[in-house]
Amino acid sequence: MSQNQRQLQITELVQKRGFVSIDELVEHFKVTPQTIRRDLNQLAEAKKLRRHHGGAGSEESSTVNVSYQSRKIMNLEAKERIAQALVKVIPDGSSLFINIGTTTETIAKALLNHRDLKIVTNNIHVAATLSAKEDFTVIIAAGEVRHRDGGIVGEATSEFISQFQMDFGIIGISGINMDGSLLDFDYREVRVAQAIIDHSQKVILAVDHSKFGRSAMVKLGNISQIDQLFTDQQPPAEINEILTANEIKLNVI
């Protein structure tokens, strides 16, 4: 395989997955780590991807998210595995927040085998899914409905969330910087997610591997604020160091 062909495939892999490690690329292309590092550096100089220690992420817009319909099918198998594993740590009879996102919507479906849950959500799709259970109490937050994905956002939403204190806060996020910053595209959504973190006994973050190293323009907080992380691949070394330093439980599914 020529260098141009390999670099084209590397770019496609990064765009598809969001983040790819050097070790993964070495295994995939059967070349040396030095060759991959050279490829990544050249692609980063050409603005085809964003170089990170240990790998590379996509060089996509930090201001506009991928469409909701596209996000629903991206990495769906990984999201379903994450959801099935995550719901095992939620006891029957628990109270929980669930925020906006296609991953949290997948988690909502996986919760349908539980009993006697009390849920507060700012996600219309989550509310519709969970309200099918007669033994669930589902409370939907007040605020502005975002037409593109059924998320409910705004100052009224944050204030509504702040009235509750729940056992668990289950959140998704658009991106995680290598310094541990949790990133999203809508400052109104970020304020709601921070309220969920502040009013949950335990915070569980659910993300597939594409979110590591992904850019978004609004900072929510830091991964050090969570209690557990559920994902489908080992995070980059920088993220792992933060998890270890803050005694955050990592669940790789």
pLDDT of 74 higher than 90: no
Provide the mean pLDDT of the chain: 90
Q: Among 4-13, 146-155, 207-216, which is the least confidently predicted range?
A: 207-216
| Burial (Cβ within 10 Å: 0-12, 13-18, ≥19) of residue 2 | exposed
Q: What is the mean pLDDT of residues 206-219?
A: 86
More confident residue, 15 or 186: 186
SS3 state of residue 42: helix
The amino acid sitting at 123 is N
What is the per-residue pLDDT for 72? 60
Q: What is the mean pLDDT of residues 192-220?
A: 91
Pairwise CA distance, residues 46 & 40, whole Å: 10
pLDDT of 67 higher than 70: no
SS3 state of residue 38: helix
95: CB partners within 8 A, 6+ apart: 117, 118, 119, 120, 164, 166, 167, 168
What is the per-residue pLDDT for 251? 98
pLDDT of 1 higher than 50: yes
Cα distances (angstroms) measured from residue 234 to each of 46, 113, 182, 228, 229: 27, 28, 17, 14, 11
Percent of the chain with pLDDT over 90: 69
pTM equals: 0.76
CB 243 within 8 A of CB 235: yes
pLDDT-based confidence at residue 61 (cuts at 50, 70, 90) = very low
DSSP assignment letter at 65: P
Q: How many CB atoms lie within 10 A of CB 44?
A: 16
What is the per-residue pLDDT for 62? 47
Q: How does pLDDT run across 36-57, given as a tens digit for each residue? A: 999 999 998 998 887 876 788 7
Q: What's the N-to-C CA distance of the chain in angstroms?
A: 32
pLDDT of 208 higher than 70: yes
Cα distances (angstroms) measured from residue 13 to each of 42, 75, 159, 210: 16, 13, 41, 11
Cα distances (angstroms) measured from residue 51 to each of 3, 12, 178, 228: 18, 15, 11, 27
Which range, 14-23, 50-59, 69-78, 130-139, has the best average confidence (pLDDT)?
A: 130-139
Q: Among 49-53, 83-87, 172-176, which is the least confidently predicted range?
A: 49-53
Q: How does pLDDT run across 88-114, given as a tens digit for each residue? A: 999 999 999 999 999 999 999 999 999
pLDDT of 33 higher than 80: yes
What is the per-residue pLDDT for 206? 97
For the CA atoms of 194, 79, 147, 214, the dihedral, rounded to the nearest 10 degrees, stands at 60
